[in-house]
Amino acid sequence: MTRTAPRRHFASDNYAGICPAAWEAMARANAGHEPGYGDDAHTARAADLIRQLFETDCEVFFVFNGTSANSLSLASMGQSYHSVICHEVAHVETDECGAPEFFSNGMKVLTVAGGDGKVTPAAVEKVVRRRTDIHFPKPRAVSLTQATELGTVYTPDEVKAVWATARSLGLRIHMDGARFANAVAELGVAPKEITWQAGVDVLCFGGTKNGMAVGEAVVFFDKELAREFDYRCKQAGQLASKMRFLAAPWVGMLESGAWLANARHANAMAELLRGELAAIPGVKLLQPRQANAVFAELPKPVVGALHQRGWRFYDFIAWGGSRLMCAWDTTEADVRAFAADVRDLLVVR
Ligand SMILES: *Cc1c(COP(=O)(O)O)cnc(C)c1O
């Protein structure tokens, strides 16, 4: 009996499966008994490879997901009476169910507006200067999402500009890098250029959306912030007992270069999709395509009809657009089939 593979969608890069490099590394880690809780060779090797990638001595921890990576690293940056500044559409504000506040015992998230999903130095300065009295939670950190929730990327100069302001105001910098690889692929920079060399103190480096089954790496460039972070992870239920299966995929992805190849591919598919959609009258593209997502405004009946034809993607009602996300395994045929359906529904013959 033949089984047809389920079709691919444009809803999220977490709809995709596990890429070969990650899968094979898991299989290699499955050879027999190894110590638990991170005292194994795969975990040590993965952390070393991350230090090599960033060309610096940093502290590395592996956790299950992005919400915990963000929440726990933010909690390590301040006290319960502090606040963290982020964009109003930032995942830490809109998609983590209050976990950053919860795990920091009350650190408040302060949001700012900004074009293309980006935090600007002026916005940071404004929110910090607005209140300096004891009745307001003291700003302590800025959180930047790279690539942003709106599919754009911060250039090294943009990160550095936020850093200059942050430094003058005594703020640390946190980076939500659930799609960090896509940003590196787009910018063509060395990872250090948009992290520690641009003032980032801690990076949540995404593995899941890049092609792993599960797992994000929390990378502390300021090692002092990592003090007792292992306890924080354990208390939060984020210390993997069989840690090697969180760590081994990083070894596979980093040694083979799949982390970057996957991101480049996903970005290229998004660019192909952008081009296809741009050529269809009646489709309005929103933000520039800079990572692996295309944001487009499609007429409402067309969105409904596409869903009816079986395509899955998210509609961000607040922004009036549809988010079309490509993954490491999105194919040209997927993109062209989707665009053909859009054309079919929009173009009057
Ligand atoms: C997916 C994502 C995360 C991680 O989410 P989890 O579901 O907790 O793994 C974090 N930040 C951004 C911007 C994301 O898109």
Rounded CA-CA distance 273/277 in Å is: 6
Q: Is the CB of 195 under 6 A from ligand 1?
A: no
- The count of other CB atoms within 10 Å of the CB of residue 56 is 15
Give, using CA atoms, the residue closest to atom 5 of ligand 1: 66
The Å distance, Cα 14 to ligand 1 centre, comes to 9
- The rounded average pLDDT for each run of 10 residues, N- to C-terminus, in the chain (349 residues) is 75 96 98 97 98 98 98 98 97 97 98 97 97 96 97 98 98 98 98 98 98 98 98 98 98 98 98 98 94 95 95 80 97 97 87
- The count of other CB atoms within 10 Å of the CB of residue 309 is 13
Question: 135 — phi, psi (to 5°)?
Answer: -85, -5
Q: Are 303 and 309 in contact (CB under 8 A)?
A: no
Would you state the pLDDT for residue 220?
A: 98
Atom of ligand 1 nearest to the CA of 14: 1
* Closest to 137 in 3D by CA, of 167, 171, 108: 108
Q: What ranges do the domains of the chain cover?
A: 20-256, 259-348
Tokens linked to 198: 């641009």
Rounded CA-CA distance 283/215 in Å is: 36
Q: Is the CB of 91 under 6 A from ligand 1?
A: yes
Would you state the pLDDT for residue 3?
A: 62
CATH architecture of 20-256: 3-Layer(aba) Sandwich (3.40)
Superfamily of domain covering 259-348: Aspartate Aminotransferase, domain 1 (3.90.1150.10)
pTM beyond cutoff 0.85: yes
Atom of ligand 1 nearest to the CA of 90: 13
Q: Are 236 and 86 in contact (CB under 8 A)?
A: no
Whole-angstrom distance between the N-terminal and C-terminal Cα of the chain? Answer: 41
Of 73, 146, 176, 314, the one to substitute when testing ligand 1's pocket (max ligand atoms within 8 A of C-beta) is: 176
Contacts of 327 (CB under 8 A, 6+ apart): 8, 12, 13, 15, 16, 209, 211, 266, 269, 292
Would you state the pLDDT for residue 233?
A: 98
Q: Is the CB of 67 under 6 A from ligand 1?
A: yes
Q: Is the CB of 176 under 6 A from ligand 1?
A: yes
Q: Which residue's structure tokens are 């992870």?
A: 233
Would you state the pLDDT for residue 320?
A: 66
Would you state the pLDDT for residue 347?
A: 79
Of 12, 91, 146, 204, the one to substitute when testing ligand 1's pocket (max ligand atoms within 8 A of C-beta) is: 91
Of 67, 246, 316, the one to substitute when testing ligand 1's pocket (max ligand atoms within 8 A of C-beta) is: 67
Of 62, 65, 95, the one to substitute when testing ligand 1's pocket (max ligand atoms within 8 A of C-beta) is: 95
Would you state the pLDDT for residue 324?
A: 97
Q: Is the CB of 194 under 6 A from ligand 1?
A: no
